[in-house]
Amino acid sequence: MTDQALITQFQNGESKEAAFTQLLKSHQAQVFFQIKKMVLEHADADDIAQAVWIKVWNKLDGFKQESAFSTWLFRVAYNETLNFIAQKKRLKTQSTQNELDHGLEHPASQDALKETAIQIKLERAIAELPEKQRFVFMLRYYNAFDYEKIAAITGTTVGGAKANYHQAVKKMTSMLEQA
Amino acid sequence: MSLINDMNDMNDMNDKENESISKALEEALKSFEAKTKQVSAGYFDQFELDLMQKIKAQKQTPKRAPIITLFLEHKQYLVAASLIFAIATGFLFFNNPEKNTTTIAKVELIEIETLPDELIEAYVNNNEPVAEVEWNSAIEAAGTNLISTNQ
């Protein structure tokens, strides 16, 4: 069944849960990994993804299908992720920021110790990218979304989305090249 | 139509050429993806269960919004009714003659009862000469009247 048919089924009130579950099954992994690439922490990604899908459940009745469901879904995910990051930034004190920086430089966990220096550098570079650039880059590089779709998701122009992508690549490359 | 398709293909090719990234970055991004894609077995099934539970709990929680909406829709009637009630209560309170009399009487009673003896004495002392003068004038007037009557 197509997304369109499932949405119509949901909006008509015919076995809403079944239609919603189908939509969830089709898109949840893609949305979750996009969010996780943004926030890195599994627990944070889980919280955001739950919030995204609850919002989808609450707002799907009013979705007019003027755009693809996936575009709308990623737009919800984009807004939720940015809200979460902004909230977290407000809560962070200078001392905790220093601890996090220290943690990135000297990873304590076994997995982190196994990582190569280049991977740590990349994570650091990704973390330092502005949220919009990071989101655009992940959508384009890992999900291969076209720029029209990315522009619709992030509320920018096609040119703006391309510029964001290139800026992200440039910054990450330069960070990796640094000794 | 094919011209548009060709142009789109060319745009895609240009985008891909412009998006060329260094080998080192590509390798790092591959590792990054592998790391972020690590989830426990059955994670998404559990996610679905948790989510549906939350949605069901949300449905069972009574919404307060309709009450607020109802209040907002009929706000003007509630305000008007409150005003009428306040005016009516005020009118009845201030125009009750029995209550007014009682209040005044009570006030007078309280004033007399609460007057201290010293104050009464002071009042009498201060007003005695005046009273005497008034009394004398009255006697004199009466005397004059008697004299004139006798004459």
Q: A25 in a domain, yes or no?
A: yes
Q: For chain A, give percent helix, strand, coil, nearest 5.
A: 80, 0, 20
User: Quick one: pLDDT at residue B50?
Assistant: 94
Check if the beta carbon of residue A119 is closer than 8 Å to that of residue B31: yes
Q: Could you say which of B19, B24, B48 has the minimum Cβ distance to residue A176?
A: B24
Q: A44 in a domain, yes or no?
A: yes
Of A134, A108, A110, the closest CA to residue A122 belongs to: A134
Q: Contact A54/B15, CB-based, under 8 Å? A: no
pLDDT at B102 over 60: no
Tell me the three state secondary structure of residue B96: coil
Q: A9 in a domain, yes or no?
A: yes
- HEC-encoded secondary structure of A108-168: CCHHHHHCCHHHHHHHHHHHHCCHHHHHHHHHHHCCCCCHHHHHHHHCCCHHHHHHHHHHH
**Nearest C-alpha of chain B: how many angstroms from A175?**
10
Q: Give the separation between CA A36 and CA A145, rounded to whole angstroms.
A: 17
Q: Give the separation between CA A140 and CA A157, rounded to whole angstroms.
A: 15
* Burial class of A154 by CB neighbour count within 10 A (0 to 12, 13 to 18, 19+): buried
- The residue range of the domain holding A29 is 1-91
**What pLDDT digit, counting tens, does each position of B43-82 carry?**
999 999 999 999 999 877 765 555 555 566 667 788 888 8
**Total domain count, chain A:** 1
Mean pLDDT of A132-154: 95
Length, in residues, of chain A: 179
Q: A48 in a domain, yes or no?
A: yes
Residues of B in contact with A169 (CB under 8 A): 19, 21, 25
User: Quick one: pLDDT at residue B55?
Assistant: 92
Q: How confident is the model at residue A151 (pLDDT cuts 50, 70, 90)?
A: very high
**Nearest C-alpha of chain A: how many angstroms from B49?**
10
pTM check: above 0.90: no
pLDDT at B133 over 90: no
pLDDT at A19 over 90: yes
Of A6, A48, A41, the closest CA to residue A25 belongs to: A6
Residues of A in contact with B65 (CB under 8 A): none
**Chain A residue with the nearest C-alpha to that of B8:** A146
User: Quick one: pLDDT at residue A107?
Assistant: 45
CATH of the domain at A13: 1.10.1740.10
Average pLDDT, chain A: 87
User: Quick one: pLDDT at residue A119?
Assistant: 81
User: Quick one: pLDDT at residue B6?
Assistant: 57
Mean pLDDT of B72-100: 77
Check if the beta carbon of residue B48 is closer than 8 Å to that of residue A46: no
Q: A62 in a domain, yes or no?
A: yes
Residue B128: half-sphere exposure toward Cβ, Cα within 13 Å: 6
Check if the beta carbon of residue A29 is closer than 8 Å to that of residue B44: yes
**What pLDDT digit, counting tens, does each position of B73-83 carry?**
667 788 888 88
Does the interface predicted TM-score (ipTM) exceed 0.90? no
Q: A165 in a domain, yes or no?
A: no
**Nearest C-alpha of chain B: how many angstroms from A96?**
23
Residues of B in contact with A140 (CB under 8 A): 19
Most confident of A111-115, B8-12, B103-107: B8-12
